[in-house]
Structure 1
């Protein structure tokens, strides 16, 4: 079968698809964020002025950027740094040290990373320092070019700032903030964190050295802006894509996709769940993986399937592999939760509830012996569908061990709808409001 070709550039369809995959995968996998964050002009101006005072005038500062994941903290800082480094003087003198609380898990590792990023390994050599403060002071001193006025400004960026508060004695934070408060070396400490209560984590001596400057970011993204971001992520660039006809057809299909009601429902659910553009990138990436010569555009069904795949509940999926007996035990636990207002229960209570169902409502179920029921109960515990209330409960006799169900009503009902060949009376039992 000959390859299909586009009308005006004579590029084979397979090559067009390959180019689309390459271009959009790079865009989505590298998570290219918008050039300028929207709705944060005052925060942008505040941070830019603050860092400019350190970079250009040698004034030390400390500031925290606080906001939920996906609010644009990193994007704001990245944009401010890009504007700051446009100036030649700043670009030549400003040094940056990037630390992350997930990677630099103690002060020794953090200090090693600071030394590496400042390229001072040869200067430090085999020197032995009496304390962290002495080591840091030596590093900063090594950056001076002769007199005190010619010290190079250093910007310390601490991502996951709250995790540094868990380091022993908060030595790193104390010393960095202490230097930023003194006039010895121009230092700016910028912390990024999701925790609103981050100041409560700091020791008194650390808190006293912090400037208490805080920049709050809350995602102000609206749904129309979110849809606009989807279009921007999927559309092919005008100059930049070699096949004009394919580009035109693809961009028309993206417009049609974004106007489809079912697609809008999927995107609205995603938007209401999280406004983080990185999760949108994951959703679109799943859709893009379906694009091929046979399917040369993203269709509404692709987006619906991707939405279902990414929003699939792991615990609900676990229930699909359970036996009917195990499913019945979960329904019995659901009823116990309803009756006793989510109080803990034990195997004996669950077994009694199950027996009541068999006696009153079921004509299709075999009456399992208690040892078999106990084995099924233990399997649910291994899957962590149920968990002991506390350590003391786990040591009690198995029939009387107090446990809690780790599923809610909606998860159980969703699993029952998808369970293959589930008996009708079991479904009816689950749907009934009484045991």
Structure 2
């Protein structure tokens, strides 16, 4: 009995440890995917990283003022690049204790008054400003920076202004905010650097002449130049747990599963389709955003199942996939056509379904074509001018395990549909 009790206690402790690990995994992946928290290496932007790091070091360590623009299409990694640089800088004690950061966004700070209020809030200087009345935006901003001084220039706190959606600030009246920020970045007062992030390639043409004359004209371009091999490495880096994770055996097992996942041909096909549609890393993050506990249990089959969840499939499309699954089971993997799938779906509706609407045939055909477009099914032969589309032979590219995994992840899936999927019989 003592051995049994010890065994139960050990099992309970192991379960508790795994639960704690899963919670930590959720936190880490949430930071990476939702908040663009820096992780691992940057691929294809090493030169841009070095350039930006040296630029900010000159401000944070040597007290030099500057300005620069990070330019690239949406999802090219502008924010992630900046976060990586800031993470490295914050490891330096001098920077960590002195650097002040002000983050503005053109979508939120839609005019100079709102922007100035946000600058005051982030610098925690509401009490300093109080009820003071200033004649202009420039006077107000100059007062804020003057209040930050500790004496001479070498002892002043460096201030980093980060302007996301930089092109939207161009539309502020007379571009006053940009003019004053660039102006103080050229002055010999408080060390200030202004970093703008934008997807507009023509951004310099949008600046007024007086604003452009005060900009340093430093531009860092990101163009998503990595290839698919590097894309796979990025995929792995996004899922890997860090070496300092709280449980070493858990970390080793998790990372080994991630490696196996990246080598799976089905997973690579999904990622390749994603890669050729868009190199936007946020799209990859959306694909990977799931319950990490599922990833821990079924990581080798995770991605194919997630395709069904994240491609926005309707219940009707899920039903068609289940119909194909049953046809595969009955005919031992032989090709099928739309008419066979439609007949199978109709039998399910008539006999079992209480929560599924009986769709018209053209609507079902549209759903079938969507599955073809997503490459969850594929035609056996090339398109024929003579063959009617209802009778083109198709093959399902998902196996039974992947379909069942997807149903577990699918939100609010009707009970009738789940029961139909688990049934070993087809209503032929």
* TM-score class normalised by the smaller sequence: 0.5 to 0.7
Matching residue of 1:223: 228
Question: Separation in 2 of the partners of 1:77 and 1:250?
Answer: 28
Kindly indicate whether the alpha-carbon contact (under 8 Å) linking 2:75 and 2:282 is maintained by their aligned counterparts in 1. yes
Question: Separation in 2 of the partners of 1:146 and 1:216?
Answer: 37
Matching residue of 2:369: 414
Matching residue of 2:353: none
Matching residue of 2:3: none
Helix, strand or coil at the partner of 2:290:
helix
Residue 158 of structure 1: CA displacement? Answer: 0.9
Question: RMSD between aligned alpha carbons?
Answer: 3.9
1:266 equivalent among 267, 270, 276:
270
The structure whose Rg is larger is 1
Q: Tell whether 2:284 aligns with 1:280.
A: yes
Helix, strand or coil at the partner of 1:57:
coil
Residue 229 of structure 1: CA displacement? Answer: 3.6
Question: Separation in 2 of the partners of 1:164 and 1:206?
Answer: 12
- Name the TM-score, length of structure 1 as normaliser: 0.63
Residue 156 of structure 1: CA displacement? Answer: 1.0
Matching residue of 1:21: 22
Matching residue of 1:305: 305
Kindly indicate whether the alpha-carbon contact (under 8 Å) linking 1:85 and 1:91 is maintained by their aligned counterparts in 2. yes
Structure 1 residues 115 and 249: CA distance shift in structure 2, 3 A: closer
Q: Which moved more, 1:131-140 or 1:12-21?
A: 12-21
Gaps of 5+ in 2: 1-6, 321-364, 374-386, 392-428
Question: Separation in 1 of the partners of 2:46 and 2:310?
Answer: 33
Mapping 1:17-416, distance limit 5 Å: 18-19=19-20, 21-31=22-32, 32-147=37-152, 150-234=155-239, 240=245, 242=247, 244=249, 253-286=257-290, 288=292, 290=294, 296-300=297-301, 302-312=302-312, 414-415=369-370
Structure 1 residues 134 and 269: CA distance shift in structure 2, 3 A: same
Gaps of 5+ in 1: 1-5, 321-409, 419-426
Residue 114 of structure 1: CA displacement? Answer: 1.0
Residue 210 of structure 1: CA displacement? Answer: 1.1
Structure 1 residues 412 and 198: CA distance shift in structure 2, 3 A: farther
Question: Separation in 2 of the partners of 1:297 and 1:270?
Answer: 21
Helix, strand or coil at the partner of 2:103:
strand
Residue 268 of structure 1: CA displacement? Answer: 1.1
